[in-house]
Amino acid sequence: MSTAASAKNGTWRNWGGNVAARPAREVTPASVDELAAAVRKAAEDGLKVKAVGTGHSFTSIAATDGVLIRPQLLTGIRNIDRDAMTVTVEAGTPLKRLNMALAREGLSLTNMGDIMEQTVSGATSTGTHGTGRESGSIAAQIRGLELVTADGSVLGCSEKENPEVFAAARIGLGALGVVTAITFAVEPVFLLTAREEPMSFDKVTSAFDELWAENEHFEFYWFPHTGSTNTKRNNRSAGPEKPVPQLQGWIEDEFLSNGVFQVAQWVGRAAPGTIPSIARISSKALSARTYTDIPYKVFTSPRRVRFVEMEYAVPREAVVETLRELKTMIERSGLKVSFPVEVRTAPADDITLSTASGRDSAYIAVHMVKGTPYQAYFTAAERIFTAHEGRPHWGKVHTRDAEYFAGVYPRFGEFTALRDRLDPDRRFQNDYLRRVLGA
């Protein structure tokens, strides 16, 4: 159970270790009918219901003292429609299994995040995303959804069927029902050439608009306490395939990115004063490299060092200013930050509570290694992000509430009205949803 959240003595904990809950009971349904029956039974017993995937959210979005639904038996591909170029997959399927199964069929998602341990429903319900100039989050690739609503009925939605539910439920926060299946748009598998190279902070920020415009997928990591970043550009390629050689891949992705990095984090925790020196060494450890492979082997990477994360979406045109303010704050604060800051982008989409809803967005993610105090850093960062009308990732640490969201999401009222209709008794309520959506 290394990648998933753990349950010991009836206590559920998330992956980052910062959230715990004690559900009254856990249910692992083997079919949609069993899941619907579990929701109806919870209603009879006066219990709330939450579904949980692998627990990769750092918020308490999946925590409950009621019925905890685990979807690990609801996995696998239901249907591939090669005429429509869609695949329908059970909600509990891990992204990793979906990516591998699609590759065997000669198919791929267009874009994805860099972690693929999560379930498809957990990842989409919280708005998980990668980086892209034209291609959006995983949820933006959804063409249809099936969910069990509060009265135990099964509701299908798409652009044609229940379109107002479809507009919201693609990133539904678990507030509208329990997702049981998702239909994704897919395309024939393609090749991406990744070019990773170090670049100075000043250069990457001054050339950000060009780097964004010239690349289908651009992202970078900045190492606090240094003027160094590591950039990554992924673009479609005619080939040939030229994967990272196995030994080199192990050295760079496992030994340096996970092993040495983990040791650096341990040293930093034990002796915070060493962090700036470690950061300078870390920022120079990874050298430039170019490789070409199928999408999931380029987009995703193993993440074995456990951390806690805050991420905000700001308007794309505000990203450089926001980052410079973050850098200044860290330099003046005396904070010791051992984890890189990650910067990605997404085009505007039409999903009601997507962090990119209605605006071209850039994401800035700050991290601290699991077990280190993160509040001072995250509080100072959040002050900067919210000054730019930032929208926090629904599955990452933040302190915002419904009043704030009503101000930064033009369609917020549309979502809460739909929730009133689909879940009038708040069967899917928990403390987190009460805070972010209002009572």
For the segment 323-341, what is each residue's pLDDT rounded down to a tens digit?
Answer: 999 999 999 998 989 889 9
Q: Which bin fits 145, alpha (ψ -120 to 50), beta or left (φ > 0)? A: beta
For residue range 43-100, what is the model confidence (pLDDT) as tens digits? Answer: 999 999 999 999 999 999 999 999 999 999 999 999 999 999 999 999 999 999 999 9
425, pLDDT greater than 80 = yes
Tokens 């685990």 sit on residue:
70
For residue range 93-137, what is the model confidence (pLDDT) as tens digits? Answer: 999 999 999 999 999 999 999 888 999 999 999 999 999 999 999
Confidence of residue 306 (pLDDT cuts 50, 70, 90): confident
For residue range 362-420, what is the model confidence (pLDDT) as tens digits? Answer: 999 999 988 888 999 999 999 999 999 999 999 999 999 999 999 999 999 999 999 99
For residue range 149-172, what is the model confidence (pLDDT) as tens digits? Answer: 999 999 999 999 999 999 999 999
Residues 170-192, mean pLDDT to the nearest whole number: 98
What's the pLDDT score for residue 369?
86
Confidence of residue 1 (pLDDT cuts 50, 70, 90): very low
Confidence of residue 287 (pLDDT cuts 50, 70, 90): confident
Instruction: Give 16 or 378, the one with higher predicted confidence.
Output: 378
For residue range 224-277, what is the model confidence (pLDDT) as tens digits? Answer: 999 999 999 999 999 899 988 766 665 566 555 656 666 666 666 777 777 777
Residue 384 near residue 322, CB atoms below 8 Å: yes
pTM of the entire structure? 0.92
3, pLDDT greater than 50 = no
Residues 339-349, mean pLDDT to the nearest whole number: 96
Contacts of 435 (CB under 8 A, 6+ apart): 401, 402
CA distance 352 to 354: 6
Radius of gyration for the chain, computed over Cα atoms and rounded to the nearest angstrom = 21
β-strands 11-13, 6-8 pairing: antiparallel
What's the pLDDT score for residue 252?
63
Residue 78 near residue 88, CB atoms below 8 Å: yes
Closest of 120, 117, 124 to residue 2, by C-alpha: 117
What DSSP string runs through 175-242? SS-EEEEEEEE-EE--EEEEEEEEEEHHHHHHTHHHHHHH-SEEEEEE-TTSSEEEEEEEEEE----B
